[in-house]
Amino acid sequence: MIELENVAHSYGGGELLSDVSLKLVPGSFHFLTGPSGAGKTTLLKLCYGELLPTSGRVGLFGRDLRGMSRDDIARTRQRIGVVHQDCAFLDHLPLDENVALPLTVSGRAGLSEEGNLRELLAWVGLTARANALPPELSGGERQRAALARAVIMAPDVILADEPTGNVDWEMSQRLLTLLVELNKMGKAVLIATHDLALIRAAKAQVAARVLRIKDRRLHLAGAEL
Amino acid sequence: MSAAQRLRVLLAGDRQADRVVPPTGFTVWLTVFTAAAMAFLAVFALALSLATGRLADRWSEALARTATVRISAPEGQMQAQVAAVMEILRTTPGIATARVLPEAEQRALLEPWFGPDLPVAQLPVPQLIEVTEDGAGYDAAGLRLRLAGEAPGAVFDDHTRWRRPLVRAAGRLRALGMISLGLIALATAAMITLSAKAALAANARVIAVLRLVGARDVYIARAFVRRFAGRALQGAGAGTALGMVAIAFLPEADAAGGFLTGLGFAGADWALPLLIPPAAAFVAFWATRAAALRVLREIT
């Protein structure tokens, strides 16, 4: 579904990522690790078309990212759920409308989705906070809401950038459980994190592969975890 | 989607789409005020164009049909020369009627300048003959030659000498009015563009988030376009209404001031300024849309 072939990216200056190849297929579960600044977020951005590779090829659902129009990219993003590191909410809209935003902008908001939204909010335990504005939420609530927004379109792929970055252990376990459940429904999951305990906990529940960015390249990290 | 459908969607509005962009507060009123002021000016530019247009038409049509022969002759010869001129005019093809102005009418013409008590009969006032041409027209140069030969005191004046520059001036005024309308439209577009750019910059983060969750460019642009077109429509509506009221209450130009036919609208012309608000909304629509799509191209 998402395919990176010998991809390199540079923000000007030296390359941050070189010769990266990655294939996300239905039902796969990947972790992406590496020190801060190694390029985890950049790699995710390449996967949903926010950045273009400086060389190599990015394929999204069988199409080359370079050949896609702006509307193609928009439609592709409706099939990729992303949990952004900073959550990326609209601060003037209440939580429920923020979670429903992908439905709204794709013209699918309506009564039929009303039930789905309530169910989803209950699933991430935010029913009571539905009318709160994003700045009023705690870090954990924001990240659960971000996950809810990422999956509301029933996407084929879920990309999560440090989804457990500022939540306590118990909460990160709950978030992980949500992602594992989604993975068992056949979704491809890629989680960027440097929380090794989280990765260990996940390996007990799912056959997760661990990728590590080191010296600008992507390695498959193996047994040491 | 057809253009009509798109327009309906645009006007019907999408409450949800409007909500994704936060309200902008104070700058709203700047846009509304600008649109109102521009519409107010547009009403006057339009009135100027229409009034000068009427004036030019009247001068070139109504006055072109009449001419005057002025006879200045010593007391004894006046009757003979008038008779000679009338004979020439009667036999000139293209002239419908020729009428010797009676003393009372001549006095009425002079009254505004010399007062009511002027003893016209005792003054060497030239005799005027009013000439009306028929549809075919006549040969003015030939007529002048014949008059010069048979009635040396007669001067033929077909008004072109002073009519032409007036018609030209009126035409020029009409053109200036049209240019003003064009400039007002461009200035409105420029100001809407600036305020739309300010709104887009203030909402850069909102736009980025909408893009990230899969919004297409037209969806994002529409949220801004609707807002600005709506404001321009409101403002221009108010400005046009005020301008039309101001024109309606302009003091009436009476017969004495008939030279300036009065700035204003006549009859069906009153419908024309009603086109200003939709035109302003149209200008705002395209200005905002262009600004929004330009900003959107900068982000992926």
pLDDT in tens, A133-155: 999 998 888 988 999 999 998 89
Which A residues in the span 45-84 are in contact with B, Cβ-Cβ below 8 Å?
A: 48-52, 70-71, 73-78, 82, 84
Phi, psi for A108 (deg, rounded to 5): -105, 0
- The arithmetic mean of pLDDT across residues B131-147, rounded, is 80
Give the closest-approach CA distance of A42 to chain B in angstroms.
14
Measured CA to CA, the distance from residue B279 to residue B184 in angstroms comes to 11
What's the confidence (pLDDT) of residue B241? 96
Residue A156 has pLDDT above 60, yes or no: yes
Pick the most confident of A106-120, A132-146, A167-181, B85-99. A132-146
What is the per-residue pLDDT for B182?
94
Give A149's contacts in chain B (Cβ within 8 Å): 213
Give the strand order in the sheet containing B66-71.
B95-100, B127-133, B66-71, B154-157
Task: State the CATH class of domain A1-79+156-225.
Answer: alpha beta
Mean pLDDT of chain B: 83
Q: Which residues on chain B are in Cβ contact (under 8 Å) with A109? A: 16
From the list A50, A74, A82, the residue facing B216 with the nearest CB is A74
Residue type, B157: D
Mean of the pLDDT values across residues B241-266?
72
For residues B46 and B164, is the Cβ–Cβ distance under 8 A? no
What is the per-residue pLDDT for B62?
65
Confidence of residue B256 (pLDDT cuts 50, 70, 90): very low
Segment A84-97 shows an average pLDDT of: 90
Q: In sequence order, which residues have a C-beta less than 8 Å from that of residue B221 and are 6 or more positions away?
A: B288, B289, B292, B293, B296
- Whether the predicted pLDDT of B105 surpasses 50: yes
Kindly report the nearest CA distance between residue B33 and chain A, in angstroms: 26
Q: Is A89 on the interface with B (CB under 8 A)?
A: yes
**Residue ranges covered by each domain of chain B:** 3-60+164-297, 73-152
Q: What pLDDT, on a 0 to 100 scale, did the predictor assign at position B184?
A: 94
Of chain B, the percentage scoring pLDDT greater than 90 comes to 30
- Residue B16's pLDDT band (boundaries 50, 70, 90)? low
DSSP letter assigned to residue B204:
H
Among B119-128, B144-153, B257-266, B274-283, the range with the most confident prediction by mean pLDDT is: B274-283
Q: Which residues of B touch A (CB under 8 A)?
A: 16-17, 19-20, 22, 206, 208-217, 219, 296-297, 300
Residue B47 has pLDDT above 60, yes or no: yes
Tell me how long chain A is: 225
Chain A residues with CB-CB distance to B19 below 8 A: 93, 97
The CA-CA-CA angle for residues B243, B247, B252, to 5°, reads: 170
Percent of chain B with pLDDT over 70: 87
Q: Which residue in the set B16, B212, B297 is minimally distant from A77, CB to CB?
A: B212
Phi–psi pair at A127, nearest 5 degrees: -55, -40
Q: How far apart are CA B225 and CA B13, in angstroms?
A: 11
Tens-digit pLDDT profile for residues B160-178: 767 778 778 888 888 999 9
Given an 8 Å threshold on Cβ–Cβ distance, is A106 in contact with B214?
yes
CA distances from A174 to A28, A80, A157, B207 (A): 20, 21, 19, 31
A58 close to A64: Cβ distance less than 8 angstroms: yes
CB-based contacts of B48, cutoff 8 Å, min separation 6: B173, B174, B176, B177, B180, B263
Looking at residue B3, its pLDDT comes to 60
CA B246 vs CA A31, B44, B237, B241, B242: distances in Å = 72, 9, 14, 9, 6
For residue A81, what is the nearest residue in chain B, using CA coordinates? B213
B213/A105 Cβ within 8 A = yes
Could you read off the pLDDT of A190-206 as tens digits, one per residue? 999 988 888 988 888 88
Q: Which of B232, B287, B237, B227 is nearest to B15 (CA)?
A: B227
A133–B contact, CB cutoff 8 A: no
Mean pLDDT of A178-191: 91
Q: Decide if pLDDT at B87 tops 60.
A: yes
Q: What whole-number distance in Å separates Cα of residue A58 and Cα of residue A115?
A: 36
Distant-in-sequence contacts of B56-64, Cβ < 8 A, 24+ apart:
B56/B167, B56/B170, B56/B171, B56/B174, B58/B261, B59/B163, B59/B166, B59/B167, B59/B170, B60/B163, B60/B167, B63/B159, B63/B163, B64/B159, B64/B163
What are the helix (H) ranges across chain A? 40-47, 70-77, 95-99, 101-105, 111-123, 139-151, 169-184, 196-205
Q: Which residue of B has its CA nearest to A71?
A: B216
pLDDT mean over B52-77: 78
Q: Residue B261 has what pLDDT?
A: 54
- For B42, the token pair is 């547009």
Encoded tokens for B183: 């400039």
Say what the pLDDT of residue B58 is: 76
A209-214/A188-192 β-pairing: unpaired
Q: What is the mean pLDDT of chain A?
A: 88
Q: Is the pLDDT of residue B12 over 90?
A: no
The structure tokens listed for B191 are 């100001």
Report pLDDT for B146: 86
Say what the pLDDT of residue B259 is.
47
* Separation CA B103–CA B82 (nearest Å): 14
Average pLDDT over residues B132-151: 81
The DSSP H or E segment spanning B99 is strand B95-100
CA terminus-to-terminus distance, chain A: 27
Residue in B181, B226, B184, B236 with CA at minimum distance from that of residue B36: B236
State whether B210 and A105 contact (CB < 8 Å): yes
Kindly report, residue by residue over B190-229, the tens digit of the pLDDT.
999 999 998 899 899 999 999 999 999 999 998 899 989 9
Domain with CATH 3.40.50.300 in chain A: 1-79+156-225
**Is B214 in Cβ contact with A153 (below 8 Å)?**
yes
Q: Is pLDDT at B142 greater than 90 in this prediction?
A: no
Interface test mutation site (partner B, options A69, A78, A86, A90, max chain B beta carbons within 10 A): A90
The counts of H helices and E strands in chain A are 8, 10
pLDDT in tens, A110-138: 777 788 888 889 888 899 999 999 999 98
